[in-house]
Amino acid sequence: MVVLRRARLRFTAVALVTLVASLAAPTAQDADDAVRTVRVSAERFTFTPSEIRVPADVPVRIELKSEDTDHGFRIVGTDVDVVIPKRSRGAAVVTVTLAEGEYTFECSQICGAGHAFMRGVIIASAEDGE
Amino acid sequence: MLLGATAAAQTGSPPAPEPRTGISGYMEAHYNKPEFEDGRLDFHRFVLLVTHSFSDRLRFVGELELEHAFVEGLEEAGELELEQAYVDFLLDRSFNVRAGMMLMPVGIINERHEPPVFYGVERPFVDTVIVPTTWFEVGAGVHGEVGRGLRYRAFLTAPLNAAEFSAEEGLRDGRQKGAEANAGRLAATGRVELVSIPGLTLGASLWSGKSGFEFRPRFDVNVHVAEADARYARDRLELRGQFAQVWIDNAATLNQALAFRIGVDPNLPSAMRGFYAEGGYRFISGARIGDVGAFARYENFDTQFRMPDGYLPLRAFDRDALVVGATYWPEPDIAIKADVSWVRNRSSVIEAPNSWNLGIGWWF
Ligand SMILES: [Cu+2]
């Protein structure tokens, strides 16, 4: 509990996160064209890429698709937590604006024996992300 | 630096926080029809996965498996096995600590064995007689990921028991399975995995332990397992390959000690080897009726690949197999499978059994 509260505090103190989670068909490009999009694929038991570099303080759209079962995408210490639908059932989309720093993300839906290995990092930096 | 509160506007899929305690699992039922024998209906695996989050950094994962549906005292029918039950201390992406009952990080199947994610009713022969899946022991160790997708895990666990090895099934019966396992000398195991290229997983594993602890006077039976694998899955295509070799040191002394104990020389090898290559393709994908894929796998495995001095290999243990079949996924978590398996060996006397198999497996 203590750990969680500290994470929340850090989050509200340093980050302004706008979260738009929607079930979108992969072709539905409703987001602003100017918004940078990062595509992440999830499968037992890996996110690819597992290291995501984004620019700090600007909105970034993260599009998540699964190759197999339901996975989750949770950014630890934030309110971001969405279900990535099963294969062929579209994508989950979140738009985040992150302050400079490193954020751990992980699968939040039990997806099998190696579920605990499904983690990654978002590095938000002042210099341009990739 | 930005200061501000969350502006969380959400539509569509709601956030689904991981429940503090969750239950999931998978099941598979098989029909096996070996040539010249009656068919068998087997509820092969019934597995329940339980997870609990004590906090963001402290997790418990448990996997309880009932094999062959029915357990008797003498273990002839089925087995009730605790395959995983560990606590993860999540410290940092690059360094985490795990302790408890853990899966050995060796090969493709051992850690990734939910029925919808592999082709074929039964697991590959190489992942049965060379890498003894499901392979699990009690221990502790570290795991993590560095950079763009370089993962590692390194564990110390109870070793295999060489007194239970066999010439036909390899290391399989040597697994102690955490049952008051002898831990006089711990085994070490580790794996590195590269997952940075989309769709591609490259892995290499090692296992090394002293397995002769049951013998008096004691002598060393060092066992080493080396394994390398690759898996590529993109859209409809899936390719995988694996190579595994086992070395048993002091096999001649081990054979003599076992012959003295059980009255028959078990003819254990000094090395075993196996490899396979598999290709699968979903020729229907994302359709209203689901997905349909076909696959072919070639396997080569020899449980008497090298013999100790003075021993000759039985050619019946030098085997290869061609497995061809199809999977129908009415939905991504249900797999209905059918395949034909042709097994050959190098013996002119003993025939290897061919079989055809049907199976249904699901994840929930
Ligand atoms: Cu997952």
pLDDT given for residue B10 in this prediction: 35
How many C-beta atoms lie closer than 10 Å to residue B38's C-beta? 6
Cβ-defined contact of A72 to B5 (cutoff 8 Å): no
Q: Which of B273, B355, B357 is nearest to B317 (CA)?
A: B273
Choose from B93, B101, B231, B235 for mutation: most chain A CBs within 10 A: B93
Q: H or E element: which one contains A5?
A: helix A2-14
Output the domain CATH number for residue A95.
2.60.40.420
User: Would you call B10 an interface residue with chain A, using a CB distance cutoff of 8 Å?
Assistant: yes
As beta bridge partners, residue B153 has B143, B191
Q: Residue B287 pLDDT > 80, yes or no?
A: yes
Token duo for residue B217: 């006077």
* Three-state DSSP state, B88: strand
pLDDT in tens, B40-62: 898 888 999 998 888 888 989 89
Provide the pLDDT confidence category of residue B73 given band limits of 50, 70 and 90: low
Q: B275 vs B315, which has greater pLDDT?
A: B275
B153 vs A95: CA distance, rounded Å: 33
pLDDT given for residue B79 in this prediction: 77
Which positions ≥6 away from B29 have C-beta within 8 Å?
B41, B42, B43, B44, B359, B360, B361
pLDDT given for residue B339 in this prediction: 96
pLDDT given for residue B283 in this prediction: 95
B314 vs B334: CA distance, rounded Å: 41
Alpha helices in chain B (DSSP H): 251-262
A69 chain-B contacts, CB cut-off 8 A? 114, 116, 332-333, 363
B48 vs B82: CA distance, rounded Å: 10
Q: Which of B212, B207, B301, B218 is nearest to B249 (CA)?
A: B212
Q: Which CATH class is domain B20-363?
A: mainly beta
Sheet holding A59-66, edge to edge: A46-48, A36-43, A59-66, A91-97, A18-24, B7-10
Which residue range is the domain that position A117 belongs to?
2-129
Token duo for residue A30: 């409703």
Ligand 1 centroid to Cα of residue B325, in Å, is 27
Supply the mean pLDDT for chain B. Answer: 88
pLDDT given for residue A27 in this prediction: 38
pLDDT in tens, B205-234: 999 999 888 888 888 899 999 999 999 999
Smallest CA–CA distance, residue B183 to chain A, in Å, is 25
Ligand 1 centroid to Cα of residue A73, in Å, is 8
pLDDT given for residue B219 in this prediction: 82
pLDDT in tens, B115-138: 999 999 999 999 999 999 999 999
Provide the pLDDT confidence category of residue B100 given band limits of 50, 70 and 90: very high
* Three-state DSSP state, A117: helix
B235 vs B231: CA distance, rounded Å: 13
Instruction: Supply angle C-alpha B31, B34, B37, rounded to 5.
Output: 105
A116 vs B1: CA distance, rounded Å: 33
Provide the pLDDT confidence category of residue B188 given band limits of 50, 70 and 90: very high
B90 vs B18: CA distance, rounded Å: 16
Question: What is the tally of structural domains in chain A?
Answer: 1
A21 chain-B contacts, CB cut-off 8 A? 10-15
Ranges of chain A with pLDDT below 50: 1-31
Please compute Rg for chain A using Cα positions.
14
Q: Residue B16 pLDDT > 60, yes or no?
A: no
% residues pLDDT > 90 (chain B): 60
